[in-house]
Amino acid sequence: MGNILKIQALFLSSALLMFGGGLQGLLLSVRGAEEGFSILSLGLIGTGWSVGFVAGSILVPMLVRRTGHIRAYSVMAAVGTITILLNLLWVSDTGWILLRIFSGFCFSGAAMIVESWLNEVSDNKNRGTIFSFYVMINLAFSTLGQLSMSFTGTAGYLPFVIGALAFILAILPTAMTTRQQPKPLASAAMNFKLLFATSPIAVMASFSVGIANGTFNTLAPVFGFFQGMDATHIAQLMSSALLMGALSQVPFGKLSDIIDRRWVITGTSIFAAIVALVLALLKPSESWQLYLLFALYGFSAFPIYSVAVAHANDAAGIGDFGTIAAAMLFTFGCGLAIGPLIAALSMNMFGASALFFVTASFHALLAAGALIRMKVRPVEMGADREPFRAMPLDRNSTPATAALDPRAE
């Protein structure tokens, strides 16, 4: 606990960052729908964020090498603040798509700097504890950011200003810390050839889950809007999926420690596909039905990526986890960018509920792929498997997350 208290400034910065990111992401989807943006434009807003996030993961390490962690972090947070305020001043679908690229870039850069710093101040004895605290903070404050829209609403300037305050306040803990700046940014290198050779299903899971999660998190709030829900209920609806997804990581993770992890991937994928099909076909109008189905979707869909990472680690050689996990994150990010675009085009042609056909399709493909791989490779490689470890949910992970993960020691 003493080590945790020593780096409380970094945890506070991360908490503020996640709060602002959770609020901004949900706000833009709902406010954009209220402004009459086309579904395609709303999908491209999600794609823009993912493109910026991937670009930041690649380019920010160079900036840190030139300016240092504190200055680079201040730049990321400041530009992120400017961007969300420009969202308020420039209410345009084209403007929001372009601005969202900058938001994704800044968020990725800031998260990488915090994660790299945490990696520097941790050691083999406490890295697991620090990583667990970091995952918990990501979840708690992303959820609080989403729920804050219940109080701010979407109209006027208040939600944008609250988000901007969270981003700018995130500068203060790191700027005022007395701890020495760490060495150059700790970020695991990516090795796609090794990833595919180690676990083809991990590649498929990263991409498929990226598409499904990118689709759900960007356009499910829009679906809620078309169902006649207000900002408060949409915020609660999305938070129910996120919270259930977090809670389910532990039981599914423990189960995957006992049986072939690919059976867990198959089962959760099939369950998520069924829930998505129910949402698409029945189009429930009652609030309690939507809450239940969204919670069940989060419960089944969100743990899949963490189980896939654990499966890849089981088959990896000693010392390869970092490069494999970083490659998975990049593949996941590509899926996040593509998913909202595919879903938006589908929704334009077939209606708002078509987004769930997209998520169901990719979860079904993943389940089929996992079953085929179990036929090809009946027994998992690696008799001594490391215990499952939860990962930050959704799109909050960067290559620096892989370096911080204790499995990368």
- Per residue in 380-396, pLDDT (tens digit) is 544 566 666 666 655 56
pLDDT at position 212 over 70: yes
68 against 261, higher pLDDT = 261
192-408 to CATH, choices 3.40.50.10470, 3.40.390.10, 1.20.1250.20, 3.20.20.70? 1.20.1250.20
User: For 16-35, what is each residue's pLDDT tens digit?
Assistant: 988 998 999 999 999 999 99
Residue 134's pLDDT is 80
Q: Is-same-fold flag (2-176; 192-408)?
A: yes
Residue 2's pLDDT is 46
Rounded Cα gap, residues 152 and 106, in angstroms:
24
Task: Count Cβ atoms below 10 Å from residue 183 Cβ, excluding itself.
Answer: 10
Residue 405's pLDDT is 64
The torsion angles phi and psi of 141, rounded to 5 degrees, stand at -85, -25
User: For 255-286, what is each residue's pLDDT tens digit?
Assistant: 888 888 889 999 999 999 999 999 999 877 77
> Residue ranges per domain, the chain?
2-176, 192-408
pLDDT at position 36 over 70: yes
360 against 200, higher pLDDT = 360
Average pLDDT of every residue of the chain = 83
pLDDT at position 100 over 90: yes
CATH code: domain 2-176 is 1.20.1250.20
Question: Cβ distance 181 to 69 under 8 Å?
Answer: yes
pLDDT at position 187 over 70: no
Q: Which of 73-77, 133-137, 163-167 shows the lowest mean pLDDT across its residues?
A: 133-137
Rounded to an integer, the average pLDDT of 107-115 is 81
Rounded Cα gap, residues 206 and 224, in angstroms:
26
